[in-house]
Structure 1
Amino acid sequence: MDIVKANGLEFGYLSEGPEDGPLALCLHGFPDSARTWRHLLPELAAAGYRAVAPFLRGYAPTAVPPDGAYQTGALAADANALHEAFGGGSDAVIIGHDWGAFATYAAAAHAPDRWRRAVTLAVPPLNAMMSGFFSYEQLKRSFYIFLFQTPLAEMALDRSFVEGLWRDWSPGYEATADVDHVMESLGAPANIAATIGYYRAMLDPSHHVDAYAAEQAAAATTGERPILYLHGAADGCLSADLTDRSTVLAQLPPGSEAAVIPGTGHFLHLERPADVNAHILTWLT
């Protein structure tokens, strides 16, 4: 575990590969940690990349931001600042799962000169996702988003709750070790509040910080860097019904690709790492 300072915060991160290789920045989601990339990092390193997986803002050992900013624009600013901190060039690539996918879309759109290509998993572009988000079945899956808007959220987000989400989102996957890693990152009340803050900022613009207005605006644009989008066929968080290929590609930059991975749920990169890694490495090379 190492520490780097970027965008005014100290980020804990994992890394593999040559320091002079092209940067491959891997961003995790919720409820997860940087250790989610344990299968992909060595594959990226073997391909010559300097593969780096930071813990997102508020997830220990990364610092809790004093400004309380958890909007997508802040996450994009972090990603682009980490590109700078690690000496990334125009050959860098960015990969994001769940909240990391939101950050990836926005970071690549805001600073396309920093990123050659991008990969997103489990969260399609916002406009594509919203086409079916308000169906009854999807709203049931998304109950936690609305729970997190209430004062009950901090009491609800414990190990049992996290275990339940992993069980529902990736049916049949043994997640004990992953949940252990999550709970290490949510070890203090401030970390739990930070995690919930992502969802409060998602639905309530009053939680936005003006310093990230440009990155926030970029999050609503298509961008120009090609993106590979991957989704699990049995995703229990966001139904694969929301990821019709033509709908997704219509919201991605020209030259992008999209695929559904059979036999996987929300954490597809952990459930079938060989298949997902092959898709990613083929796309990047």
Structure 2
Amino acid sequence: MAQTDNHDRRRFLRTAAMTVAAAELFMTGSAGAQSSGGSPGPRPARPGTNMSFGPLKQIDAGLLNVGYAEAGPAGGPAVILLHGWPYDIHSFAEVAPLLASAGHRVIVPYLRGYGSTRFRSSEAIRNGQPSALAMDTVALMDALGIEKATLAGFDWGARTANIVAALWPERCKAMVSVSGYLIGSQDAGKTPLPPRAELEWWYQFYFATERGRAGYDRYRRDFAKLIWQLASPKWTFDDATFDRTAAAFDNPDHVGIVIHNYRWRLGLAAGEPAYDDLEKRLAAGPVITVPTITMEGDANGAPHPDAGAYAKKFPGKYAHRVIDGGVGHNLPQEAPRAFAEAVIDAGRF
């Protein structure tokens, strides 16, 4: 039965005490890891900002050659952390060491169209539809030999975790999802919303135009910074924090993936036939039975559903947490300890 979890954070301090050792591990990569030649990790942030990752790894997985960071013991329970738009793996730069210190094998991949992730074929469609991103995650798990993992994310990443948990529950040990149940469909995207709700999606309509595509291509960093400010109005981030993430938007497929994602939602762009069956299953609004914790920041300025609207979508072990203190949309980066604690707790349900 669903419940609101006003959790006691004090017990998590015991895990946080090991963070320094885990951070050192994360900066250099886990024992025995091989860094990809010619694919250096993101440049480190200037002193005073959040920690950054060491050299990334690369692996062929399905349609992609995926860039990812890894930390923690190779034999530990796997956790896959999934970022959203317009963010990148650095949303988890402080979450990952906390999870590694608790014994987890932590995988933080760049989504298609971000960072060092590339399509393996120049002929591949630059497709941003939800089921395609979910298939990317399953393919990554297969490539890394991960049979089952806890999936955790926000924004696009939360939606991707939702889809994997709904369609392939045998691959998902547990899930943490910021803003809850985010599975939708093209038909749902065609339904008009009240004017105030439509206003929150202003960028979706901008992206529906060729002027919007050109504008995002030309001003992608300015655009991303504006979204950060609107989605997390009480989060004070410095230029170094933003710049290390903004580098991920230089990916040659970034604009195409973002534009296709939002046009597909409105039915203005076609998906690939290979995903038709998956999208039909998702359009039915499947329940998610794996152990789940949903989260929301008390100052999330991005469009998001009310928790009461989706609680029944989680008929298994489930809790909802509201994180106070002016926490916005980028919850893992704004409240890393609370997010990491939810991942650990969900895995123990």
Q: Same fold (TM over 0.5)?
A: yes
Equivalent-residue separation in structure 2 for 1:122 and 1:247 (angstroms): 11
Structure 1 distance, partners of 2:208, 2:115, is 22
Aligned positions of 1:147-158 closer than 5 A: 147-157=206-216, 158=219
Which ranges of structure 2 fall in alignment gaps of 5 or more residues? 1-55
Distance 2:259 2:79 in 1: 27
Pair 1:100 & 2:157 matched: yes
Equivalent-residue separation in structure 1 for 2:114 and 2:147 (angstroms): 27
Task: Kindly indicate whether residue 288 of structure 2 is the aligned counterpart of residue 226 of structure 1.
Answer: no
- Match in the other structure for 2:231: 169
1:187 is the counterpart of 2:246: no
Per the alignment, residue 131 of structure 2 pairs with: 73
Shift of 1:265: 0.9
Alignment partner, residue 144 of structure 1? 203
1:27 and 2:90 aligned: no
Matched, 1:11 2:66: yes
| Residue 100 of structure 2 corresponds to residue 56 of structure 1 | no
Offset of residue 60 of structure 1: 2.5
Is 2:337 the counterpart of 1:278? no
CA contact (8 A) 2:126 2:253 kept: no
CA apart distance, 1:36: 1.1
- 1:113-132 aligned within 5 A: 113-122=170-179, 124-126=181-183
CA distance in 2, matches of 1:84, 1:107: 13
Provide the TM-score with structure 1 as the length reference: 0.89
2: CA distance between counterparts of 1:12 and 1:103? 17
Structure-2 change in CA distance of 1:133 and 1:5 (3 Å): farther
SS in structure 2 of the partner of residue 120 of structure 1 = strand
SS of corresponding position for 2:118: coil
Aligned residue type for 2:335:
R
For residues 117 and 184 of structure 1, what CA distance do their matches in structure 2 show? Answer: 31
Shift of 1:121: 1.1
Equivalent-residue separation in structure 2 for 1:83 and 1:126 (angstroms):
21
Structure 1's 174 and 143: CA in aligned 2 closer, same or farther, altered over 3 A? Answer: same
1:38 aligns with 2:96: no
The separation in 2 between residues aligned to 1:78 and 1:53, in whole angstroms, is 13
Map of 2:323 onto structure 1: 261
Greater C-alpha Rg: 2
Contact (CA 8 Å) 1:122, 1:238: kept in 2 or not? no
Offset at 1:155? 2.8
1:84 to 129, 139, 142: 142
Q: CA deviation at 1:274?
A: 2.0
What are the residue-to-residue correspondences of 1:236-255 with 2, within 5 Å?
236-239=301-304, 242-244=305-307, 246-255=308-317
- The residue type paired with residue 138 of structure 2 is N
Q: How big is the shift at 1:123?
A: 5.3
> In structure 2, what is the Cα distance between the partners aligned to 1:172 and 1:182?
19
- SS in structure 1 of the partner of residue 208 of structure 2: coil
Q: 1:204-235 CA deviation, whole Å, 9 max, x = no partner?
A: 27421121234323433113212211111211
Contact conserved, 1:109 with 1:218, CA < 8 A, in 2?
no
Query: 1:44 Cα deviation (Å)?
Result: 1.4
Distance 1:36-1:56 versus aligned 2 partners, 3 A rule:
same
Question: Secondary structure of 2:210's partner?
Answer: coil
Q: Structure 1: how far apart are the matches of 2:227 and 2:205?
A: 14
Which shifted more, 19-28 or 134-143?
134-143
Provide the TM-score with structure 2 as the length reference. Answer: 0.74
Deviations 1:56-92 (A, max 9, x none): 01112111472222111101111111111111123x2
- 1:189–1:2: structure 2 CA closer, same or farther, 3 Å change rule? closer
Q: Which runs of 5+ in 1 are unaligned?
A: none
Matched letter for residue 74 of structure 1: A
Total equivalences in the alignment: 279
Q: Which 4+ runs in 1 deviate beyond 4 A?
A: none
Taking the aligned partners of 1:16 and 1:199, their CA distance within structure 2 comes to 32
Percent identical pairs in the alignment equals 27
RMSD across aligned C-alpha pairs, in angstroms? 2.3
Distance 2:312 2:174 in 1: 17
- Give 2:263's aligned residue: 200
1:228–1:258: 8 Å Cα contact kept in structure 2? yes
- Does the alignment pair 1:134 with 2:193? yes
1:16, 1:41 within 8 Å by CA — same for their partners in 2? yes
